[in-house]
Chain A
Amino acid sequence: MLKSINLSFQYSGAPSISFPDFTAEQGDHWLILGPSGSGKTTLLHLLGGLLSPSTGNITLDDLHYSAFSPAKSDKFRGENIGIVFQKAHAVQSLSVMENLLLAQQLGGKILDKKKIMDLLERLQIAHKANQKPNKLSAGEQQRVAIARAVINQPRLILADEPTSALDDKNSTEVQNLLKESADAVKAILLVVTHDNRLKATFPKQLLLK
């Protein structure tokens, strides 16, 4: 279970942004909506342990990870949180397979090529395993990003505008793959977006102003 209480963040020289208290159960799929400037990305980065909150705390299964030191936070994130960004930003000099091996290593997991291939097959990009990311289409690259986010079986999957750069067809595919992948590892899925195409398919929604 993910719980955030009394969360706020203040950029220097700017007014503080407050976030509504929030609870998500294991297996939940949540959509976090809001206009530009409402702090969606800030919230996601706080939930991902990439930022420390000014007030409040965030717990995952009762682990108060928002208060971890940077070193502990990096480690925790690698093992428990998967993040999908608007663009994959995979390591350009490595193949898809090597990118995923890197994710396993950084997450402190055993290197397991078979596990990676199984995942790539489920995402239907197994045939691109030995290609470098710049040889893949945008939709394929996002599937690599999804694979990377779930390979270490995280408890929490965060997605920041995962479909905003994709056409309708790819957008639908990526939504479905995100949900399936999250379900496969029983993770909480939180998608932060302003893409209205997603509103119809996510029953649980949080609105930021």
Chain B
Amino acid sequence: MNILHLSWKNILNKPLTLVLNLVLFSLGVGLISLLLLVNVQLEDKFEKNFAGIDLVIGAKGSPLQLILSSLYHLDAPTGNMPISESKAFLNPKHPIFKKVVPLSLGDSHRGYRIIGTNASFVDLYEAKLTEGKMFEKTMEVVVGATVAENLKIKTGDQFQSSHGLIEDENLVHEDAKPFIVSGILGKTGSVIDQLIVTKTQSVWAVHEDHDHEGETEEEHAAHLDHDHDHAEEEKPLAAYEDQSITSLLIQFKGRNIQALNMARNINENTNFQAATPAIEINRLYTLLGVGEEALKALAMLIIFVSGLSIFISLFSSLRERKYELAVMRTLGARPGFIFQLIVFEGIVIAILGFLCGIALSHGSMILLADFLEKSYRYDFSAAIFLKEEIYLFGGSLIIGIIAAIIPAFQASKTDIHATLADNKG
């Protein structure tokens, strides 16, 4: 019959009060834990997806939208870049640009985006093939790890793409040649896991075929072969003057004044815009930050209220228990025993509340991850446990103790004689 057993029994004896305290406490703890889980993963994804890109060039519009669509593959692209107007950027001997990766966006397969680009895109994310080989011919694709896992894709599989970024069976390019999976990439934890990557020419090929309406079967077939041949010639991108791409990912040769001025130069003097990932993402953080601060404040408030609730329930339980506590003193219990008893009750409630809160947050994370995957194709996990959750545990213990200290002190100081004398029944 030790103090812990006794405090446990005392708490269980008032189940409704316990439930109230647990609901409040677990809400507060759960909210903070959930914020931590989301934040840690969000920051991680932002970091990993920078991929060393210094600048993104695309059609004029919102710079944040350009970054989100071309670097994070969220949101819709801002427009097109006709190659005829972009030749300066595509110069392989560009004085400032070390690496230029073209992107063609706009198609998808069952909700996963298809990126028309070249092999250097895959290098940006340090992705390695786990199966098959890199795409070489037009219509060959490599598939990111998450796509392969969720759609159960193997090397050699074929599929037709859909127009647009949302899964819609009415928009499948049924007349176009199918894509063929030439390889599967390993998991990187970056955005490439959820992408299907192919040559720029593949995306053009799919859209060209659509333009051939009103032709006979033979003429159409002849055309296809003709285009097919064209596509296999390794011409530099700049040669395709009547085509467009969506955006360019740029790595600078070095950080110098010219590089830094590049963005302003493009924005002021060309038909395109240039956005710096770091600047736009910081802006995004600032916007998100306000929401996050509000949620954190709410969580703190809830935890404060739950601490108050524990305090109140312990305090009022003293009134109900005053005779049995006095009698325990007559049996030989020291004031310290009574003090410890009440403090333990506070601690036990706090620990239970913490455990419920963690269960709540990880459970909610499972639902949230599912939603985020369906909406944005980003992979969030409920199964990570953070060291911050240990601090949260420590904090919970402290709150339990603080809530219990005054009632515990009060209980231990009770005058046995006065209590037992005043009540003859």
Cβ B13 vs Cβ A45 within 8 A: no
Contact of B332 among A51, A75, A89, A161 (CB under 8 A): A75
Give A70 to B329 CA distance when docked, in angstroms. Answer: 11
Contacts of B328 in A (CB 8 A): 91, 102, 106
Interface status of B334 (Cβ within 8 A of chain A): yes
The count of residues in chain B whose C-beta lies closer than 8 Å to any C-beta of chain A is 27
Interface status of A139 (Cβ within 8 A of chain B): no
B263 to chain A, nearest CB (A): 70
Interface status of A140 (Cβ within 8 A of chain B): no
Cβ B425 vs Cβ A83 within 8 A: no
B130 to chain A, nearest CB (A): 59
Give A165 to B331 CA distance when docked, in angstroms. Answer: 22
Contact of A42 among B9, B332, B421, B424 (CB under 8 A): B421
Interface status of B312 (Cβ within 8 A of chain A): no
Chain B, residues 315-336, CB within 8 Å of chain A (1/0): the string is 0000001011011111111110
Give the interface centre of A74, A98, A111 by most chain B CB atoms within 10 Å: A74
Cβ A51 vs Cβ B425 within 8 A: no
Cβ A90 vs Cβ B331 within 8 A: no
Cβ B9 vs Cβ A94 within 8 A: yes
Cβ A107 vs Cβ B424 within 8 A: no
Cβ A108 vs Cβ B332 within 8 A: yes
Contacts of A164 in B (CB 8 A): 424-425
Contacts of B12 in A (CB 8 A): 93
Closest to B421 in A: A41
The count of residues in chain A whose C-beta lies closer than 8 Å to any C-beta of chain B is 38
Give A51 to B1 CA distance when docked, in angstroms. Answer: 28
A74-B332, A108-B332 are contacts. A101–B1 as well, Cβ < 8 Å?
Answer: yes
Give A79 to B333 CA distance when docked, in angstroms. Answer: 11
Interface status of A78 (Cβ within 8 A of chain B): yes
The majority secondary structure among interface residues of chain B is helix
Contact of A92 among B13, B326, B329, B420 (CB under 8 A): B13
Q: A69-85: which residues lie under 8 A (CB-CB) from chain B? A: 70-71, 74-75, 77-79, 83, 85
Contact of A71 among B13, B326, B334 (CB under 8 A): B334
Cβ B425 vs Cβ A94 within 8 A: no
Contacts of A48 in B (CB 8 A): 330
Give A98 to B369 CA distance when docked, in angstroms. Answer: 48
Cβ A89 vs Cβ B324 within 8 A: yes
Interface status of B416 (Cβ within 8 A of chain A): yes
Interface status of A50 (Cβ within 8 A of chain B): yes
A43 to chain B, nearest CB (A): 11
Cβ B323 vs Cβ A148 within 8 A: no
Cβ A93 vs Cβ B331 within 8 A: no
Cβ A102 vs Cβ B1 within 8 A: yes
Give the interface centre of A48, A98, A102, A165 by most chain B CB atoms within 10 Å: A102
Contact of A165 among B9, B417, B425 (CB under 8 A): B425
Q: B359-376: which residues lie under 8 A (CB-CB) from chain A? A: none
Contact of A77 among B13, B323, B332, B417 (CB under 8 A): B332
Contacts of B420 in A (CB 8 A): 41, 45, 50, 85, 160
Cβ B332 vs Cβ A86 within 8 A: no
A100 to chain B, nearest CB (A): 9
Give A70 to B333 CA distance when docked, in angstroms. Answer: 11
Interface status of B19 (Cβ within 8 A of chain A): no
Cβ A79 vs Cβ B332 within 8 A: yes
Give A104 to B1 CA distance when docked, in angstroms. Answer: 9
Cβ A94 vs Cβ B6 within 8 A: yes
Contact of B416 among A42, A50, A160 (CB under 8 A): A50
Cβ A74 vs Cβ B1 within 8 A: no
Interface status of B91 (Cβ within 8 A of chain A): no
Cβ B327 vs Cβ A107 within 8 A: no
Contacts of B424 in A (CB 8 A): 86, 161, 164
Give the interface centre of B323, B326, B332, B335 by most chain A CB atoms within 10 Å: B332
Interface status of B39 (Cβ within 8 A of chain A): no
A101 to chain B, nearest CB (A): 4
Interface status of A87 (Cβ within 8 A of chain B): yes
Give A59 to B425 CA distance when docked, in angstroms. Answer: 29
Q: B1-33: which residues lie under 8 A (CB-CB) from chain A? A: 1-2, 6, 9-10, 12-13
Closest to B333 in A: A106
Contacts of A45 in B (CB 8 A): 416-417, 420-421
Cβ A148 vs Cβ B324 within 8 A: no
A93-B13, A102-B1, A102-B6 are contacts. A74–B334 as well, Cβ < 8 Å?
Answer: yes
Contacts of B335 in A (CB 8 A): 70
Cβ B332 vs Cβ A107 within 8 A: yes
Give A42 to B12 CA distance when docked, in angstroms. Answer: 36
Interface status of A130 (Cβ within 8 A of chain B): no
Cβ B321 vs Cβ A87 within 8 A: no
Interface status of A103 (Cβ within 8 A of chain B): yes
Interchain residue pairs A-B with the least CB separation, the first 3: A78-B332, A93-B13, A106-B332
Q: A48-B330, A102-B328 are in contact. List 11 more A-B contacts (CB 8 A).
A: A45-B420, A50-B417, A70-B335, A74-B333, A75-B332, A78-B331, A78-B333, A89-B324, A93-B13, A98-B9, A102-B6
Q: What are 27 of the A-B contact pairs (CB < 8 Å)?
A: A41-B420, A45-B420, A48-B330, A50-B416, A50-B417, A70-B335, A71-B334, A79-B332, A86-B424, A89-B323, A89-B327, A91-B324, A93-B10, A93-B13, A94-B9, A98-B9, A102-B6, A102-B328, A102-B331, A103-B331, A105-B1, A106-B328, A106-B331, A106-B332, A107-B331, A107-B332, A160-B420
Residues of B near any A CB (own CB < 8 A): 1-2, 6, 9-10, 12-13, 321, 323-324, 326-335, 337, 416-417, 420-421, 424-425
Residues of A near any B CB (own CB < 8 A): 41-42, 45, 48, 50-51, 70-71, 74-75, 77-79, 83, 85-87, 89-94, 98, 101-108, 111, 148, 160-161, 164-165
